[in-house]
Structure 1
Amino acid sequence: MIRGIRGATTVTANDETEMIDATEKLLQEMIRENQIQPDDVCSIFISLTEDLTAAFPAKALRRFDGWNYVPVMCMKEVPVPESLEKCIRVMMHVNTKLNQSEVKHIYLEQAISLRPDLQKQNH
């Protein structure tokens, strides 16, 4: 069964190093919490708010051994007024035996405010 696993984080500045490091941390947590292997991943979409232009956060995935063939794409998030700024969101499509209720969606930093209901469920 293919499941979508969501995650999000925020950064404090439009800075390449900070963006890639924050994305790496988010991806590591998503992978660890859901016991994901690279061969089980169909694709990964990463979106950024329009105030983040310094880097492609997909570069973070290339730091992981064995993940070089996983398709990943970056895109711009819909610029909704008054939405969370400097936010990086991830949607990972994974083959898994987990039920929807067992999937652990990961929200870090200020992005916890996006889905506090899922944050409480995960811990």
Structure 2
Amino acid sequence: MSVRGIRGAITVDANNAQEIANATLEMMRAIVAQNEIVPSDISSVMITVTNDLDAAFPAQCIRQLEGWEYVPLMCALEVPVKGSLELCIRFMVLVNTDKSQKEINHVYLGGAQALRPDLSNVK
């Protein structure tokens, strides 16, 4: 078994707690479903937000889900590069799996599909 990284990102329309919560949960559920994993398979989740998102902690939203209370979650600010995608939540999910790197499905939703168009259609 190896530890593999699963990348993901999603954008929101506005900086408000409900939009951040909805997008965070949509992304986490998509990563779990597309990679056929359960919370106990996850080593940790690192979540970054762009500096224009400060209405909610994405990790706090995930902790509300059943089975996620023991998964290590951490939020941080994304590097504020000029001209980069705004209103974006990015994920790095480290998971224990027998899957090869090629079998991992990275998930990019909404405006974040522009970050990795080569991976955005992977399912």
Shared fold, TM over 0.5: yes
Structure 1's consecutive aligned runs of 4 or more residues displaced over 4 angstroms after TM superposition are none
Give deviations 1:72-111, integer Å, cap 9, x for gaps: 0000000000000000000000001111111000000000
In the TM superposition, residue 63 of structure 1 has moved relative to its aligned partner by 3.0
- For residues 58 and 40 of structure 2, what CA distance do their matches in structure 1 show? 21
The total of aligned residue pairs comes to: 122
* SS, match of residue 118 in structure 2: helix
Task: Give the gaps of 5 or more residues in structure 1.
Answer: none
In the TM superposition, residue 60 of structure 1 has moved relative to its aligned partner by 2.2
- For residues 99 and 46 of structure 1, what CA distance do their matches in structure 2 show? 23
* SS, match of residue 116 in structure 1: coil
Match of 1:11 in 2: 12
CA contact (8 A) 2:109 2:120 kept: no
Match of 1:89 in 2: 90
Match of 1:101 in 2: 102
- For residues 49 and 99 of structure 1, what CA distance do their matches in structure 2 show? 30
Match of 1:32 in 2: 33
Percent identity of paired positions between Structure 1 and Structure 2: 49
Match of 1:42 in 2: 43
More helix by share: 1
CA contact (8 A) 2:27 2:109 kept: yes
Task: Give the gaps of 5 or more residues in structure 2.
Answer: none
In the TM superposition, residue 37 of structure 1 has moved relative to its aligned partner by 1.3
Which TM-score applies when normalising by structure 2? Answer: 0.96
Give deviations 1:46-85, integer Å, cap 9, x for gaps: 0000000111011221232111100000000000000000
Cα RMSD for the two superposed structures: 0.9
